[in-house]
Amino acid sequence: MAEPTIERLLRRDYLITISALTVLIALAWTYVASGAGLGMSAWDMTTLALFPHHNEHAAMGGMAMGAPQAWPPATWALMIAMWWVMMIAMMSPSAAPAILLYARVHRHSLAQGQIEAKLAPTGSFAAGYLLVWLAFSVSAASLQWLLVQTGLVSQLMLGSQNRWLSGALLIAAGLYQLSPLKGLCLEHCRSPTKFLTDNWRPGAGGAARLGILHGAYCVGCCWTLMALLFVGGVMNLFWIAALAILVLIEKVAPFGRVIARAAGLAFVAGGVWLLMQNP
């Protein structure tokens, strides 16, 4: 017996979702690795140093950078795009289970005739999620501008030049990892089935709303981890990859909550150790 046309379309829609996520993540990582339009590849801005600010002057080759200049609109657009694509690269793998689950639930609802027979608006859910990270990227770029202007972050390498800043960010991130708010947001991110059940809305508008809400929980869960990019270097591939892996483990692994708290303790210890070092 031939498979109904709607079933073939729905299965194809699910496969398209998986393929689109894979391509999106691959393109985002490629863009980040190429340097995100900053004029040098990310590999040139990557160091194995645990705290790259120790080697900042060596990395700059003794060049005198002069006073930072105000960013023109094109630079603002470039920096916001850099942060946004980086967030897509880092966060999409951990968001994929929720996106794919949304597609599956919507497909099931269609098959049962519970909603109108339209292809699942999974793209609206993903778009809403990524829109929240765009808003975060505007804030991150603004913070980067401020830190560069004050000389706390290198204009060239986009990493901390000050151990007090590095230590403070590590301690702040560690304490947040141990906080009830982090736990609340992480619980929502780790339980996509419950999240969709409690907040489900039909249609493209409902999907976008769900995506925005899920993105808000995700930002609430991970914003201090993203701030640690200023410690290791915003374009330091080793720091980017390490934080992305940590986020994925926190949200997907059975022991993710334990890892989140262990990472928090490690961040606090690292920050305190750093602040106790001689200048």
d(CA 64, CA 227): 27
Provide the whole-model pTM: 0.86
Q: Which helix (H) or strand (E) holds 79?
A: helix 73-111
Give a yes or no: residue 48 inside a domain.
no
Q: Which pLDDT tens digits describe the chain residue by residue (279 residues)?
A: 444 554 555 556 667 788 889 999 999 999 999 988 888 888 878 776 666 665 544 344 333 445 557 789 999 999 999 999 999 999 999 999 999 888 887 776 666 655 554 545 788 999 999 999 999 999 999 999 999 999 899 887 888 888 999 999 999 999 999 999 999 999 999 999 899 888 887 777 888 999 999 999 999 999 999 999 999 889 999 999 999 999 999 999 999 999 999 999 999 999 999 998 876
d(CA 267, CA 166): 11
Give a yes or no: residue 207 inside a domain.
yes
Residue 267 · residue 173 · CB < 8 Å? yes
Give a yes or no: residue 145 inside a domain.
yes
| pLDDT given at position 1 | 42
Question: DSSP letter string over 10-31?
Answer: HHHHHHHHHHHHHHHHHHHHHH
d(CA 24, CA 67): 37
Give a yes or no: residue 17 inside a domain.
yes
Give a yes or no: residue 164 inside a domain.
yes
* Domain span including residue 12: 5-41+76-99+115-275
Give a yes or no: residue 191 inside a domain.
yes
Give a yes or no: residue 209 inside a domain.
yes
d(CA 275, CA 268): 11
CA dihedral 79→80→81→83, nearest 10 degrees, is 90
> In 112-162, which ranges are continuous DSSP H helix?
122-149
d(CA 119, CA 132): 24
| pLDDT given at position 63 | 39
Give a yes or no: residue 57 inside a domain.
no
Structural domain count, the chain: 1
Q: Copy the structure tokens of residue 84.
A: 């946004």
| pLDDT given at position 73 | 92
Residue 174 · residue 160 · CB < 8 Å? no
d(CA 186, CA 251): 7
